[in-house]
């Protein structure tokens, strides 16, 4: 039986050379480019951070929450400090008691952890509290003061520090907990999802470079006024929305309306208005602060704020500019009729007819039917019928005949 031939001895430093080649390969894999790309999620996150509000990103593991925070910190030129909330004790956020020379006279101070001291010395930074949904209830309780008051033990973090947290849904979190209502109500909740095209293009070597929103200094007073009118107008009409704690445990761990979250909403609307952000971005922010139901009601009321003042329309019906969108035009016309009803006067009544005639020429005829019918019922004895009403009579009559025909058609179809 032949003897086996021994392997040749490995050349010296062969392992080191292989590691060098591996480093070159890793460098090539990291060699990627970027391209500008609008990102609604990142714009909403940036505005909330600029507004100095704590933000909580909800998303499945591996969705890119940490990568988004890294990109945001780089874009804002803020040092990023990451703290894994679930691996810390309550004392890491409430502070460790340190006994001094004379505790009876000086008390026992609560010493902050090293990461808080580094942030305080830097004077600015982005504090990232990761894995928040896996933090035990005792840790969540200790985080309350940090998130709201920016205090860690006896140390107050400087105003230049912003707070962003991330959490996985309980179904995908390891030993996950629902957030306590007091902690959840301190955050703006943003649902974080991935864009398939962005992932594919990024793995191909080109990742997006988000364009961050900028605030227009000239619009600041207007933005504050708009935000205050929006929130106060809704709560005046819907007082039950001022504070509504959800009944389910899971819903209490998300966004819900309270005086605190409405104050956050007001601030977010002001920032989004000053930045000229889209309604999609504003929707993410508003629903992330007070929840889907109240948030959608507020968004609907915001469109009403864009309507022209009915008194302005009555003052110049010939030159009035009505909204193009059908539902907003209908609302504007209804508001004009309501203004005439509230303060009936022949000149105002005539101006309303002139406005309806203008609306008939520039929009869908069916939009003037209900306002015209209501306006006709407001006529007082002695008021002359304006000439404009003749131009509207045909449209009202035609619309009524169409409604009757449609009703008859529906009734005939149902009887077959």
pLDDT in tens, 179-224: 889 999 999 999 998 888 888 988 898 888 777 788 999 999 999 9
Q: What is the distance of C-alpha 385 from the center of its chain? A: 50
Residue 99: pLDDT band with limits 50, 70, 90: low
Say what the pLDDT of residue 237 is: 81
H/E stretch holding 207 reads: strand 206-210
**Rounded CA gap, 355 and 336, in Å?**
9
From residue 12, alpha-carbon distances to 9, 16, 17, 18 in Å are 9, 9, 10, 12
Residue 164 has pLDDT above 70, yes or no: yes
CB atoms within 10 A of CB 361: 8
Residue 175: pLDDT band with limits 50, 70, 90: low
pLDDT mean across residues, the chain? 83
Alpha helices in 103-219 (DSSP H): 103-106, 114-122, 137-149, 181-184, 196-203
Determine what percent of the chain is predicted with pLDDT higher than 70. Answer: 85
The token pair that represents 148 in the structure block: 């709201």
**Rounded CA gap, 400 and 402, in Å?**
5
- Closest CA relative to residue 379, chosen from 341, 329, 336, 325: 341
Residue 118 has pLDDT above 50, yes or no: yes
Q: What is the distance of C-alpha 115 from the center of its chain? A: 29
Residue 399 has pLDDT above 50, yes or no: no
**Rounded CA gap, 304 and 331, in Å?**
8
Residue 287 in contact with residue 324, Cβ under 8 Å?
no
Say what the pLDDT of residue 398 is: 46
Q: pLDDT tens digits, residue range 325-347?
A: 787 788 888 888 888 998 888 89
Q: What is the distance of C-alpha 200 from the center of its chain? A: 27
Say what the pLDDT of residue 401 is: 47
Angle at 197 between CA 193 and CA 203, to 5 degrees: 100
The whole-number average pLDDT for the span 175-182 is 81
The whole-number average pLDDT for the span 167-173 is 72
H/E stretch holding 23 reads: helix 14-30
The whole-number average pLDDT for the span 112-138 is 90
Cβ burial, residue 377 (10 Å; 0-12/13-18/19+) = exposed
**Rounded CA gap, 241 and 256, in Å?**
9
The whole-number average pLDDT for the span 86-109 is 72
The whole-number average pLDDT for the span 265-289 is 95
Greatest mean pLDDT among 298-302, 320-324, 394-398:
298-302
Residue 11: pLDDT band with limits 50, 70, 90: low
Backbone angles phi, psi at 25, to 5 degrees: -65, -40
Q: Which residue has the higher pLDDT, 408 or 138?
A: 138
Residues 6+ apart with CB under 8 A from 356: 333, 368, 371, 372, 375, 388, 392
Residue 43 has pLDDT above 60, yes or no: yes
The whole-number average pLDDT for the span 286-314 is 88
**Rounded CA gap, 141 and 180, in Å?**
8
Q: What is the distance of C-alpha 271 from the center of its chain? A: 11
**Rounded CA gap, 181 and 121, in Å?**
32
CB atoms within 10 A of CB 164: 26
Residues 6+ apart with CB under 8 A from 399: 365, 366, 369
Enumerate the β-bridge partners of residue 164.
55, 128
Phi-psi region of 64 (alpha: psi -120 to 50; beta: other; left: phi over 0): left
Angle at 113 between CA 73 and CA 124, to 5 degrees: 30
The whole-number average pLDDT for the span 38-55 is 92
Residue 308 in contact with residue 320, Cβ under 8 Å?
yes
């Amino acid at each position: 039986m032949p003897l086996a031939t021994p392997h040749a001895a490995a050349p010296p430093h062969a392992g080191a050379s292989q590691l060098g080649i591996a480093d070159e390969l890793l460098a090539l894999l990291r060699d990627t480019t970027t391209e500008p790309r609008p990102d609604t999620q990142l714009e909403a996150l940036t505005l909330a951070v600029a507004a100095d509000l704590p933000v909580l990103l909800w998303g499945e593991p591996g969705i890119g929450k940490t990568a988004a925070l890294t990109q945001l910190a780089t874009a804002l030129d803020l040092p990023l400090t990451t703290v894994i909330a679930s691996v810390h004790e309550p004392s890491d956020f409430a502070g460790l008691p340190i006994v001094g020379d004379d505790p009876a006279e000086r008390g026992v101070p609560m010493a902050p952890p090293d990461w808080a001291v580094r942030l305080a010395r830097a004077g600015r930074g982005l504090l990232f509290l990761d894995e928040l949904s896996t933090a035990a209830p005792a840790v969540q309780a200790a985080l309350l003061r940090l998130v709201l008051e920016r205090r860690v033990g006896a140390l107050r973090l400087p105003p230049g520090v912003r707070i962003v947290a991330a959490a996985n849904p309980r179904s995908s979190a390891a030993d996950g907990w629902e957030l306590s209502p007091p902690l959840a109500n301190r955050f703006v909740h943003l649902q974080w999802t991935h864009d398939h095209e962005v992932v594919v293009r990024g793995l191909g070597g080109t990742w997006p470079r988000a364009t961050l929103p900028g605030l227009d200094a000239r619009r600041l007073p207007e933005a504050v006024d708009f935000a205050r009118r929006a929130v106060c107008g809704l709560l005046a009409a819907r007082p039950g929305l001022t504070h509504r704690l959800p009944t389910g445990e899971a819903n209490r761990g998300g966004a819900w309306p309270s005086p605190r979250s409405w104050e956050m909403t007001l601030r977010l609307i002001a920032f989004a208005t000053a930045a000229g952000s889209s309604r999609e971005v504003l929707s993410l922010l508003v629903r992330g602060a007070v929840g889907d139901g109240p948030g959608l009601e507020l968004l609907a009321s915001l469109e009403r704020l864009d309507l022209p003042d009915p008194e302005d329309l009555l003052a110049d019906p010939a030159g009035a500019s009505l909204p193009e969108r059908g539902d907003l035009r209908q609302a504007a016309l209804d508001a004009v009729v309501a203004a005439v009803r509230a303060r009936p006067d022949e000149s105002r009544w005539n101006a309303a007819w002139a406005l309806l005639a203008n609306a008939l020429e520039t929009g869908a005829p069916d939009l003037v039917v209900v306002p015209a019918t209501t306006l006709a019922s407001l006529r007082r004895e002695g008021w002359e019928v304006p000439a404009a009403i003749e131009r509207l009579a045909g449209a009202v009559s035609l619309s009524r005949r169409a409604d009757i025909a449609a009703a008859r058609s529906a009734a005939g179809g149902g009887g077959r």
